[in-house]
Amino acid sequence: MPGFLTNDAIIHAPETRTSSPISIPRNPETLQHVQIGNLYPCAEGAGYAGGIVSAAIDGMKCIDVLFLAINI
């Protein structure tokens, strides 16, 4: 692995997957689960983010539509 392999390392552990292999289905407009109302599948575990920033942005998107839904 050019650029990564070195004799100074004790263990090499390449990250082979950077985001969830599954997506929990959600309505693209309301961001709620397609069958369970008021459930907002969000960020990495739900399959909508792959890192810190994308998880945070997806959380903000869900909060925005939630606040719209309850008129805050």
DSSP class of residue 52 equals H
- What is the closest distance, in whole angstroms, from the C-beta atom of residue 44 to ligand FAD in the complex? 3
- Specify the long-range contacts of residues 4-12, CB closer than 8 Å, at least 24 apart: none
Which 29-68 residues touch ligand FAD, going by CB under 6 A?
43-45, 49, 51-53, 55
Question: Are 32 and 39 a contacting pair, CB within 8 Å?
Answer: yes
- What is the closest distance, in whole angstroms, from the C-beta atom of residue 13 to ligand FAD in the complex? 10
- What is the closest distance, in whole angstroms, from the C-beta atom of residue 9 to ligand FAD in the complex? 16
Tell me the one-letter amino acid at 71. Answer: N
Residues that bind ligand FAD (CB under 6 A): 43-45, 49, 51-53, 55
